[in-house]
Structure 1
Amino acid sequence: MMSRRSLLSAAALSSLAAACSPLGALNGLNTLTPGDGQVRRVVDAAAFGTDPRQTLEIWAPKGVTAKLPVIVFFYGGSWNSGSRDGYGFAAKALAAKGFVVVLPDYRLVPQVRWPAFVEDGAAAMTWVAANIAAHGGDPTRVAVMGHSAGAHIALLLALDRRWGVADTIKAAVGLAGPADFLPFVAGGAADAALGKAADLQDTQPIHFARKDAPPLLLLHGDGDTTVLPRNSQRLANAINDMGGRAEVRIYPDVGHIGILLALSKPFRGKANALTDTSNFLLAALTP
């Protein structure tokens, strides 16, 4: 649940141009840093719904001909902020590892409340199933991934069958994902986004832990004070206790934003999030 305050205070971004947004500056710095070449954006602003926020873009290795595994990446922002325009660095990093990467936007608070952003995630997944083959992706090998509030959306789509897409998701990766975070802080971002749900348990990914869940990789930093690492640990324990498969990686001295920055070239040394994600998904999505 990525607040603007936490973005601006991140030490890794303090030297970036003050006139730019933090993620915009990171994208610029990422572009100037060598590596992650031979990828391109193959789709921009494809609509999966009628609202202006219901659009997506796709990144893929250049010259892709084979049907590659697919990652649908949901960004964070406390369910009330964010745009796919800021996350090219993440899409490029994952595409360079051999994936077709989909970046959806979704509707935000205060325009909507629970469950509209999860419904948008499901609609994006439905679009992917119908269209990704035309852009080099294999619709039978699709994973979801997200950071913070985006991880919350990704995990719900993978675990809760009511959204209609769980059985099309073959693996899931959460970066600093809120999975077991009741009760909400009164007046906080989660309360504003989720607090009017008829049953608050329905907002919690851990409530839908099941033995036959797709394999999960849950990544967290031990310095995260925004979404505590116990969220990942408790969800993994619940899945594994049922006989399913969930792995946890806890990175030392990494905070809530740091684990996201670790996908970018300038800050990749902070944690092995990109390598761990790539290795896990390549194995999980092998035919």
Structure 2
Amino acid sequence: MIRALSSRRAALFLTAIGAALLSACSPARLLDRVVPRDTYDFEGGVAYGPAPRQKLDVFRPLAAALPGPGRRPLVVFLFGGAWTTGDRADFRFVGEALASRGAVVVLPDYGLSPAFRYPVFVQDSALAVKWALDNAVRLGADPRQIYVMGHSAGGYNAAMVALDDRWLGAAGASPKQLAGWIGLAGPYDFLPIENPDAKVAFDWPATLPESQPIGHVSAAAPRTLLMAVNKDTLVNPVRNTRQMAERLRAAGVDVEVSEFDDLGHVSLIAAVAKPLRWLGGPVLPPIMGFIGLK
């Protein structure tokens, strides 16, 4: 019965899930009961800095998962929420999805607006990536296969960490240490700012032009996977994803792009969860292929 749903009904269902993810009904409440807990090893509440929000969770493959320890990719996943909401606990489904297939996953919190504004959330993201670089071997990952991945506002954070070397540089690392970055429906070129939450987070209209990831593209950028939904009403896929892809390709960077018609802005990330993968098209396979897993 479930698999007989039409493409339109599937899209409507995922849209409803996406709306719930943005509301008080968190992803944890929706998905925790049905996302497996026995497919990974978990280490929670690890400090990557002294601030209360500078904590992260680690999801590691079980011993039987391939590839073996020391050869596994590591993915730092940065969640979205307009830089004003979000908690790592709500995105366990992302950790499970990747770790159950052989990747080590680091899922950090970061400072949120209005208490913290640009560039604090980028600085926190860079510190979390530096922690992952420093701890990759201990976690059983290959330090040459470190990726930063983010959805929506988290996609922005991932782009800034990967493209603007100031942030990892200040943390004592470099984007050259990354094997790649993955952006799902990220905003990469959004001045002038229209979103009320983003206005606060970026101190609009005093927002610095250098806050835009598109301006930091160079030939030194890591290889890239960009994903978007064609009917995204929150982040324009043409101005952001397609333009970013064009700019990277013009700089000679290896770029892969996946676009989807039957998903929404938030259901793009929700579709990686095991109970929802059949609904929205192949979101997870391009990610796994990009990081060297099937």
Q: Quickly name the TM-score band, shorter chain normalised.
A: 0.7 to 0.9
1:275 is the counterpart of 2:285: yes
Contact (CA 8 Å) 1:79, 1:109: kept in 2 or not?
yes
1:204: how far off?
A: 1.0
Question: Relative to structure 1, is the Cα distance of residues 199 and 15 closer, same or farther in structure 2, using a 3 angstrom cutoff?
Answer: closer
Match of 1:251 in 2: 260
Instruction: Provide the aligned C-alpha RMSD in A.
Output: 2.4
In 2, Cα distance between equivalents of 1:197 and 1:207 = 18
Matches within 5 A, 1:75-114: 75-114=79-118
2:270 aligned to 252, 261, 266, which one? Answer: 261
Matches within 5 A, 1:165-176: 165-176=174-185
In 1, Cα distance between equivalents of 2:222 and 2:19 = 38
In 2, Cα distance between equivalents of 1:275 and 1:108 = 31
Contact (CA 8 Å) 2:18, 2:267: kept in 1 or not?
no
Matches within 5 A, 1:27-66: 27-31=31-35, 38-41=39-42, 43-63=43-63, 66=69
2:148 aligned to 137, 144, 155, which one? Answer: 144
- Secondary structure at the aligned position of 2:138 is classed as helix
Question: Relative to structure 1, is the Cα distance of residues 139 and 114 closer, same or farther in structure 2, using a 3 angstrom cutoff?
Answer: same
Amino acid at match of 2:209: Q
1:45: how far off?
A: 0.8
1:218 aligned to 205, 209, 226, which one? Answer: 226
1:197: how far off?
A: 8.5
1:24 is the counterpart of 2:28: yes
Amino acid at match of 1:11: A
Amino acid at match of 1:266: P
1:196: how far off?
A: 5.2
Aligned residues: 269
1:62: how far off?
A: 1.1
1:234 is the counterpart of 2:243: yes
In 2, Cα distance between equivalents of 1:95 and 1:172 = 17
Q: TM-score, normalised on structure 1?
A: 0.87
Amino acid at match of 2:17: A
CA offset digits 1:145-184 (Å, max 9, x no partner): 0100001000110000111231221101111110111110
Question: Relative to structure 1, is the Cα distance of residues 139 and 198 closer, same or farther in structure 2, using a 3 angstrom cutoff?
Answer: farther
1:125 is the counterpart of 2:129: yes
Contact (CA 8 Å) 2:83, 2:197: kept in 1 or not?
yes
Report the identity percentage.
Answer: 36
Amino acid at match of 1:44: G
1:89: how far off?
A: 0.4
Question: Relative to structure 1, is the Cα distance of residues 143 and 13 closer, same or farther in structure 2, using a 3 angstrom cutoff?
Answer: closer
Contact (CA 8 Å) 1:114, 1:197: kept in 2 or not?
no
In 2, Cα distance between equivalents of 1:264 and 1:88 = 9
Matches within 5 A, 1:173-192: 173-185=182-194, 188-192=196-200
Amino acid at match of 1:66: P
1:60: how far off?
A: 1.0
- Secondary structure at the aligned position of 2:77 is classed as strand
CA offset digits 1:28-69 (Å, max 9, x no partner): 24326xxx953121x211111111100111101112652111
Contact (CA 8 Å) 1:184, 1:195: kept in 2 or not?
no
- Secondary structure at the aligned position of 1:279 is classed as helix
Question: Relative to structure 1, is the Cα distance of residues 13 and 247 closer, same or farther in structure 2, using a 3 angstrom cutoff?
Answer: closer
CA offset digits 1:80-123 (Å, max 9, x no partner): 11000001101110112211000000010111110000000111
Contact (CA 8 Å) 1:30, 1:89: kept in 2 or not?
no
- Secondary structure at the aligned position of 2:41 is classed as strand
- Secondary structure at the aligned position of 2:35 is classed as helix
